Amino acid sequence: MCRSNRLFDLLQTLRDGHLHTAQTLAEATGVSVRTLYRDMETLVASGVPVIGTRGTGYRLPPTVTLPPLTLTPAELEALNLGLAIASEVADPDLKSAALSLTDKLDAVLPETAVAEADAWKFTKNPFANTARGFAQMPTLRAAIKARQKLRITYTSKDGAVTSRTIRPLHMEYMSRVWTLTAWCEWRSAHRAFRLDLINTAEALPELFTDEAGKTLADYRP
Amino acid sequence: MCRSNRLFDLLQTLRDGHLHTAQTLAEATGVSVRTLYRDMETLVASGVPVIGTRGTGYRLPPTVTLPPLTLTPAELEALNLGLAIASEVADPDLKSAALSLTDKLDAVLPETAVAEADAWKFTKNPFANTARGFAQMPTLRAAIKARQKLRITYTSKDGAVTSRTIRPLHMEYMSRVWTLTAWCEWRSAHRAFRLDLINTAEALPELFTDEAGKTLADYRP
DNA sequence: ACCCAACTGACAGGTTTATGTCAGTATCAT
DNA sequence: ATGATACTGACATAAACCTGTCAGTTGGGT
């Protein structure tokens, strides 16, 4: 399995929020412990907020990852104004959140040169072909909303191309990769599909409803 | 020069907004024309909005680009609150900017299939409602943490206002709407409450513990 | 004090990736 | 129509990267 797929798998595993030791993760991904430490280094360098504690293991705190956004200057202004107001709010938790977010934006905004330079750090790591698969996004999003089944062709990890009918449930930008969570009717199980590995996606006329065991809430990664 | 540095240089060159031919850029970066085309492919795949026109050259339109950001749930809260307020308070220009930015965020944040047409109906004026729901957030969040029962008054879909005691379990942003999942002691069932429809929320001195059938894990929407 | 597990550095060999060359197609402006 | 220039594919070679092994250090929890 190539490295980027392994990193993706690591993220999927860590997403449960539980504790994982390097030993465990290394065995799960079929790789030496040394390499796993290097992978963790790569994840951290890519901005994934994974936390390693000596003597305990790795844990991934719950976070939301925003993809790169392009803003107009006016939108930027609105953003800053809104955060400025939010940081005046009485609630200390919310206030400090607003302040830390303002810091993050400040760190990212004023000097675009720096931001771009950082952006390339992880492009050097071949982790994300984030933009591939964008073409399918409107189709997928519409199908999720309309609760419409999809027929997709997908390149799996071993390189095999498969065709399957799925019930799209949830689409998310998860740590540098767009992911579609769905119920796969072929495998009769939940699956997380990487958008950049979806070759074609066709909305079927067939609709679906929530069935016990097949909803998003039933998904346990 | 390594590839990532070269890509960075290309961006710096393109930043002037002028027209550049592949030939020129290739010479400037000391690389073959074929490789330059590959570099452009990489840039586009990384989300850079560079535009190539056959017969003319490459041009980069001026935009402000945010790199991928990792937000904590609290920061996401602050962001939404800030924009909700900004879109109510500010002048028309800023207001429409705040609205369009909110749209962009909506397009990008995790979406769940649970979003019904109902959720869209009320979004005629979504931001006032969003901001309204935020007022309760500190109370709700604190109650979830402290495992403290709540007494809320709630406007249900048919417009009826009810008052009930609930065990708050989980709060999350579900496709434009903040939702509080709880065990409702009045209905003796799990319920998902929209924050913007909670009129009042009062923490009761009474605590609760996990009971079979009443935990978050037992919830099946 | 002890164990556990996260970390770090070095190095050799294997694998992947990047690059240039060549040949050809597509599309815009004039 | 023509010229200019963006694009695409194939393929061999060179460069960069990834990996396992080994040997060691650091810090947290008990």
User: What SS3 state is found at B18?
Assistant: coil
For residues B51 and B121, membership in a common domain is answered with no
Query: Which pLDDT band holds residue A176 (cuts at 50, 70, 90)?
Result: low
Q: Which of A68, A81, A91 sits opposite B65 (nearest CB)?
A: A68
CA distance B144 to chain A (A): 14
pLDDT in tens, chain B (221 residues): 677 778 877 877 887 778 999 999 999 999 999 999 999 988 887 777 788 899 899 998 766 667 667 788 778 878 887 787 777 655 676 778 888 888 888 776 654 332 222 222 233 333 444 455 556 777 887 788 788 999 998 877 566 788 999 999 887 654 345 678 899 999 999 888 877 778 888 889 888 988 888 887 777 65
For residues B33 and B118, membership in a common domain is answered with no
For residues B121 and B55, membership in a common domain is answered with no
For residues B40 and B129, membership in a common domain is answered with no
**The last residue of a domain, from among B18, B33, B59:** B59
Report the footprint of strand C: residues with C-beta closer than 7 angstroms. A 2, 20-23, 33-34, 37, 40-41, 52-58, 126; B 3, 6, 31-35, 38-39, 53-56
Q: Is the pLDDT of residue A23 over 70?
A: yes
Domain of B31, CATH number, reads 1.10.10.10
Of chain A residues 99-138, which have a CB less than 8 A from chain B?
100-101, 104-105, 108-109, 112-113, 115-121, 123-124, 129-132
Segment A108-116 mean pLDDT: 41
Q: What per-residue confidence (pLDDT) applies to B117?
A: 25
The verdict on residue A65 lying in a domain is no
The verdict on residue A153 lying in a domain is yes
Per the structure, the complete domain to which residue A169 belongs is given by: 134-218
Q: How many domains does chain A have?
A: 3
Domain of B117, CATH number, reads 2.30.30.520
Q: Residue with structure tokens 């996004």? A: A137
| B88, burial (CB in 10 Å: exposed 0-12, middle 13-18, buried 19+) | middle
The verdict on residue A179 lying in a domain is yes
Nearest partner of A82 among B107, B126, B176, B80, judged by Cα: B80
Those residues whose C-beta lies under 8 Å from the C-beta of residue B2, and which sit 6 or more positions away, are: A124
What is the distance in angstroms between the CA of the first residue and the CA of the last residue of chain A?
20
pLDDT digits (tens, 9 = 90+) for A30-46: 999 999 999 998 888 77
The verdict on residue A10 lying in a domain is yes
Nearest partner of B171 among B200, B197, B144, B153, judged by Cα: B144
Helix B126-146 × helix B92-108 angle, to 10°:
50
For residues B116 and B33, membership in a common domain is answered with no
Q: Which of A118, A131, A216 sits opposite B113 (nearest CB)?
A: A216
Q: Which residue of A has its CA nearest to B81?
A: A86
